[in-house]
Structure 1
Amino acid sequence: MRPYAIAPPKPKRFRLLRWLLKLFLFICVVSAAPMIYLRYENPPTSNYIELNKRNNNANIKHRWVDFENISLYFPNAVIASEDQQFPTHHGFDIKQIKLVLKERGKGYSRGASTITQQTVKNLFLWPSRSFVRKGLEAWLTGWMELIVPKRRILEIYVNYAQFGKRVFGIGAASQHYFGIEPSGLSPYQSALIAAALPTPSRSNPAKPSPYLAERAAYIQDQMPRVGGRRMVQELDD
């Protein structure tokens, strides 16, 4: 009988590439899993809320409200305020990123984070602006845009964005500032709450400063320009 031929050992480079491929696939699965969950289930909390609790920020106000029970003026105001390209981009506003890079070092302060990026940050990450955090944010943003519909991303965002020092989500914000359900928010009330988003800890939509009132007026002017309530209704679901 002829002896069985012994297969030569695979080169170390091949074994390394196979190991790296398995690692990459594992990272993809781990990244996609929470997005699949978020597509169908409401998140029980956010990392920002938990960080506030750990920092002894007591009396956190938060209440989830389904999208159908929120006045469409409010998500319209959020898009007008935070991310006017949200209905059409794929997670990143390339035009704003180019402007930020162009204005770097000139004394300007401009944000380029989209609603999707902010949703990822609020749910999973932490406040610092390190390269590690920005890298994770970009990676998870891609997965969120790939798996979670736009309307659902917006629903999660308005339910976990910070609108005051201890106020998270539109359910708590509408009650805290105006004593009404989110379904009853007027265009100007919606614009006032949305105007607080850049500096929620220092803003009070119920008693707006001149700056906050001016910003709210700008947002209200932009709301029909970005498509109004109809645009919100037509977001992919």
Structure 2
Amino acid sequence: MPNAATGTRAAPRPRRLRRLIGRLLALLLLLPLVAILVFRFLPPPMTPLMLIRVIEGHGWQRDWVPHQAIAPALAAAVVASEDNLFCEQVLGFDFDALSDQVDAWSDGGRPRGASTITMQTAKNLFLWPGRDPVRKVLEAWLTPQIALLWPRRRVLETYLNIVEFGPGIYGAEAAARHFFRKPAAALSSREAALLAAVLPNPLAWSAAEPSAYIRRRAATIERRMAQIRPLLACTW
């Protein structure tokens, strides 16, 4: 419809709507990329999970430390427990594990998960807890960006500083001081294995008061650590 004041024709509404949607999509795509580039060098101030736990009343214990201030034993324990192919993944995915989970799902079984440390870093840094499809799609979108833009050392350093080790307890330094009354740099292999053992369910399991199951799990992780440590030259 012509504009009486200027004599020009206004853009049809569908076209303006498409432009608006396009700009919003571009913004949604670019904002995480900018954040990923910033967090490659700077510690993230907070994560969605931390905010959720504060609202739930769990408090907030966290003290970011550089990788030099974290015992290498904890890096070995986490890799041995969570992702023993961490150094080999170009895009941050374990494609063999993902294929196994797809096969299990197609056969009517229940997939047990194939989440790598890079995937967990993406989830912990930007997303909310849960297994809903939207979150999984976003995790899959963010993971390769982190894997390609960050060195392995930064991925593991960030993961060890933001992962939840207990209710309201985030990162290696806070966990080491809360559970063992020592800095993260002084963690023993056994203590590191206990911390790694509780990661699948940190709200229910305790590294300081481990159940028989957690003690057995930690012992298995500690045995694997001897095999993992020589491979961690990509990060430590």
- Same-fold status (TM-score > 0.5): yes
Which residue matches 1:68?
68
Query: Map of 1:8-27 to 2, 5 A cutoff?
Result: 26-27=27-28
Which residue matches 1:194?
196
Aligned residues: 219
Query: Map of 1:50-89 to 2, 5 A cutoff?
Result: 50-58=51-59, 60-89=60-89
Which residue matches 2:11?
none
Counterpart of 2:87 in 1: which secondary structure? Answer: coil
Which residue matches 1:35?
36
Rounded to whole Å, the distance in 2 between the matches of 1:71 and 1:217 is: 18
- What is the CA deviation profile of residues 205-236 of structure 1, one whole-angstrom value per residue up to 9, with x for unaligned ones? 1121110011001111111222x1x4334338
Counterpart of 1:163 in 2: which secondary structure? Answer: strand
Counterpart of 1:201 in 2: which secondary structure? Answer: coil
Return 5+ residue gaps in structure 2 as ranges: 1-17
Q: Which amino acid aligns with 2:204?
A: R
- What is the CA deviation profile of residues 175-234 of structure 1, one whole-angstrom value per residue up to 9, with x for unaligned ones? 1111111111111110010000001111111121110011001111111222x1x43343
Which residue matches 1:111?
113
Rounded to whole Å, the distance in 2 between the matches of 1:168 and 1:26 is: 30
Rounded to whole Å, the distance in 2 between the matches of 1:77 and 1:203 is: 17
Which residue matches 1:234?
234
Do residues 155 (structure 1) and 157 (structure 2) align?
yes
Query: Map of 1:130-141 to 2, 5 A cutoff?
Result: 130-141=132-143
Rounded to whole Å, the distance in 2 between the matches of 1:210 and 1:179 is: 22
Rounded to whole Å, the distance in 2 between the matches of 1:216 and 1:109 is: 23
The 8 Å contact of residues 72 and 232 in structure 1, kept in 2 or not, is answered as no
Which residue matches 2:122?
120
- What is the CA deviation profile of residues 3-49 of structure 1, one whole-angstrom value per residue up to 9, with x for unaligned ones? xxxxxxxxxxxxxx999987776554333211110111111111110
Between 179-188 and 48-57, report the one with greater CA deviation: 48-57
Counterpart of 1:223 in 2: which secondary structure? Answer: helix
The 8 Å contact of residues 87 and 234 in structure 2, kept in 1 or not, is answered as no
Counterpart of 2:40 in 1: which secondary structure? Answer: helix
Structure 1 residues 109 and 195, CA gap change in structure 2 (3 angstroms):
farther
Rounded to whole Å, the distance in 2 between the matches of 1:211 and 1:200 is: 14
Rounded to whole Å, the distance in 2 between the matches of 1:205 and 1:23 is: 44
Q: Under a length normalisation based on structure 1, what TM-score does the superposition of the two structures give? A: 0.84
- What is the CA deviation profile of residues 89-121 of structure 1, one whole-angstrom value per residue up to 9, with x for unaligned ones? 121111111222222365555221111111111
Rounded to whole Å, the distance in 2 between the matches of 1:100 and 1:91 is: 16
Q: Which amino acid aligns with 2:57?
A: N
Query: Map of 1:177-192 to 2, 5 A cutoff?
Result: 177-192=179-194
The 8 Å contact of residues 38 and 148 in structure 1, kept in 2 or not, is answered as no
Rounded to whole Å, the distance in 2 between the matches of 1:53 and 1:24 is: 30
Which residue matches 1:101?
102
Aligned sequence identity (%):
36
Q: Under a length normalisation based on structure 2, what TM-score does the superposition of the two structures give? A: 0.84
Rounded to whole Å, the distance in 1 between the matches of 2:93 and 2:104 is: 18
The 8 Å contact of residues 69 and 185 in structure 2, kept in 1 or not, is answered as yes
The 8 Å contact of residues 76 and 232 in structure 2, kept in 1 or not, is answered as yes
Please give the root-mean-square deviation of Cα atoms over the aligned residues, in Å. 2.4
Do residues 48 (structure 1) and 66 (structure 2) align?
no
Return 5+ residue gaps in structure 1 as ranges: 1-16
Rounded to whole Å, the distance in 1 between the matches of 2:110 and 2:227 is: 25
